[in-house]
Structure 1
Amino acid sequence: MEKRVPQILIIYTGGTIGMVKDYKTNALKPFDFENLKTKIPELNLLECSLKTTAFEQPIDSSDMSPDYWITIAEIIELNYKDTDGFVVLTGTDTMSYTASAMSFILENLRKPVIFTGSQLPIGDLRTDAKENLITAIQVASAFENGEPVVQEVGLYFEYKLYRANRTTKVSAEQFEAFQSPNYPNLGESGVHLLFNRQFLKRSKSELPLKIQKNLDANVVILKLFPGIQRGLVEYILNFPDLHGVVLETYGAGNAPTDSWFFEILIKTIQRGIPIVNVTQCISGGVFMGLYETSTRMKSIGVINGKNITTESAVAKLKLMLGLKIPSTEFKQKFETQIRGEMS
């Protein structure tokens, strides 16, 4: 029996990984992904068939938005039937936001969608781009017993594969730019590519892929800091078109005890605006009820974000608001994991 060759689609949106240096001018210019195997001959050693597509105008990571998230999802939807795995190349600065969002947008996903990028351009002497790209393709093309090993949205960077919606960028300088503080790595690349199968998400759904296109853009992140003023909090939470709040609190979910602060939160919730409590800490999560301040927040209906990342909380909030979930069910549904984003 002839061995099946996985069909992999590389989607380039922009970012450092897709840049090469013009050594005459020293300026960076977009990489020609149409001739990928010519530029990176190592790709010829991979046991898969590669196709590439790119945004007509590659975008900087800082310009990433929900509209672009939908564009990526639509490319995946369009090619889903004839493609076994996807590698999405984006800028690293907003990669955790985009990859987290993709995990929520793609419903009933049963194929790998692996995000990667690089800290240095692909043409740089010391670039991390080649290894990240090659191994991300290997991850996307890994099959076992006729099924893809990975059946979720992942993020591969510097020898580690993570669940995308558990990641956060922790360094602007080191090659180890990402971490998954509250969930184990899904795999590691060394001499061999090894998967931690007990942590991989397996889809039980036989339903076809569905993409959720209705995302609500009117969400804000409010980060607490010592001395935060009433006027600032009121100004942000009284914004006319505000539909959802990710509140970054201290430690295990604590906030100032000032009565004005809770008055504003109560009025916001009474207006039907959900407030999600997440921790500012890199690891750990919210434990509402551990201290008096978080007990009070729990009593007024603030949503417990548990150990979800801020990036994932923003994406999930946008999705759930877009689905028009009734306010009576919203809190319970947000506090329930749907894509392995919290525990």
Structure 2
Amino acid sequence: MAKPNILLIYTGGTIGMIKDFKTGVLKAFDFKNLLDKIPELQLLDCHIKTVSFEKPIDSSNMNPEYWVQIAEIIETNYNKFDGFVVLHGSDTMSYTASALSFMLENLAKPVVFTGSQLPIGDLRTDAKENLITAVQMASLQENGSPVVKEVCLYFEYKLYRANRTTKINAENFKAFASLNYPELAESGVHLKVNHDYLWKPDLKHTLIVHKNLDTNIAIVKLFPGLSETFLRTVLATPSLKAVVLETYGSGNCTTEAWFINLLQETIKQELHIINVTQCVGGSVMMGQYETSNQLKAIGVISGKDITTEAALSKLMYLLGQNIPKQEFKKVFETSLRGELF
């Protein structure tokens, strides 16, 4: 049986840096010579090719234009490779990976995001393990077909559904978590794949790459003392089409009349408001408490157990599809890529 072909896509980030031990300065790693620098990759049962952004970026500068670039690289090479590994800075990785899950409709091959907390040349780096195992995850096959057929994120021995992840720690190697969905696989002495949790796409359809993303959205995080002036100013932003409202607990908010009335006025003006919990785990359940019942009554959309990262990227994707107002709520509250229950 032929070995799987894996395309390694380098966008930038810490994993692509190497330390000059004479000066202590970090410099970019030449991914054209990847196999020479990391010979362990040659032990994997796959063929690896690499491609890099012309100008690799820090992930803090990531934006939807770069998301489209990544999607186009995958689209161009989709029929040539059996899997893809995207090397990305950790700070915005969950945003990018979530976005790609929506942009790549009918994906039937693995797209695995990974990165590191320390540069690849550092003595204690986590980069090598993350990179090697991410490639191995992308190359897993059964009966000539990829085991994983979705966008994932691999970090510190765990493979997660990408649109279920969030970065939880800036210093620990265990930087990511998926509080509302089990890991898809775990790396130990053996690779343990949780087949029951893998996304199972309809293989009758071919890949569709969506590149029209609408960024006219905002996030408002509720806090005690939020003023009417501030919220009214945000909601009056020109061209604004949707707001992710980060609420308390299971979707609760203040019941002050000015707050509810302002949201109701906004919704009547055809601006979508998505209720997402501030908690890293758990779900919005509007109507469970009096403090969320009014949101449900005025037509606020439930984000259920979606992450903020996935909510933002799903909004950009759906707004780009020009879905009719009367259908938008139903579509958002429906799981498209396994991003919510």
Normalising to structure 1: TM-score of the pair?
A: 0.99
User: Which blocks of at least 5 consecutive residues in structure 1 are unaligned?
Assistant: none
Deviation at 1:25, TM superposition (A): 2.1
In 2: Cα distance, 1:97 partner to 1:118 partner: 16
* 2:7 aligned partner: 9
* 2:269 aligned partner: 271
| 1:310 paired residue among 303, 308, 311 | 308
In 1: Cα distance, 2:263 partner to 2:88 partner: 36
| 2:192 paired residue among 194, 205, 210 | 194
What root-mean-square deviation, in Å, do the aligned CA atoms of Structure 1 and Structure 2 show? 0.6
In 2: Cα distance, 1:293 partner to 1:300 partner: 13
In 2: Cα distance, 1:111 partner to 1:175 partner: 27
Counterpart amino acid of residue 263 in structure 1: N
Counterpart amino acid of residue 219 in structure 1: I
* 2:17 aligned partner: 19
In 1: Cα distance, 2:20 partner to 2:108 partner: 40
| 2:232 paired residue among 214, 234, 238 | 234
| 2:79 paired residue among 81, 88, 98 | 81
In 2: Cα distance, 1:34 partner to 1:240 partner: 45
Deviation at 1:293, TM superposition (A): 2.1
In 1: Cα distance, 2:34 partner to 2:136 partner: 15
* 1:167 aligned partner: 165
User: Which blocks of at least 5 consecutive residues in structure 2 are unaligned?
Assistant: none
What SS does the aligned partner of 1:288 have? coil
| 1:253 paired residue among 240, 251, 254 | 251
Q: Write out per-residue CA displacement over residues 153-179 of structure 1, whole angstroms, 9 at most, x where no aligned residue.
A: 000000000000000000000000000
* 1:60 aligned partner: 58
In 2: Cα distance, 1:206 partner to 1:74 partner: 22
In 1: Cα distance, 2:200 partner to 2:294 partner: 38
Deviation at 1:26, TM superposition (A): 1.4
Counterpart amino acid of residue 116 in structure 2: S
* 1:120 aligned partner: 118
In 2: Cα distance, 1:323 partner to 1:203 partner: 21
* 1:28 aligned partner: 26
| 1:131 paired residue among 129, 132, 154 | 129
In 2: Cα distance, 1:245 partner to 1:223 partner: 10
What SS does the aligned partner of 1:234 have? helix
* 1:209 aligned partner: 207
In 1: Cα distance, 2:321 partner to 2:103 partner: 11
Counterpart amino acid of residue 220 in structure 1: A
What SS does the aligned partner of 1:36 have? helix
In 2: Cα distance, 1:78 partner to 1:21 partner: 33
What SS does the aligned partner of 1:29 have? strand
Deviation at 1:44, TM superposition (A): 1.0
Q: Equivalences for 1:100-111 in 2 at 5 Å?
A: 100-111=98-109
Deviation at 1:146, TM superposition (A): 1.3
% identical aligned pairs? 63
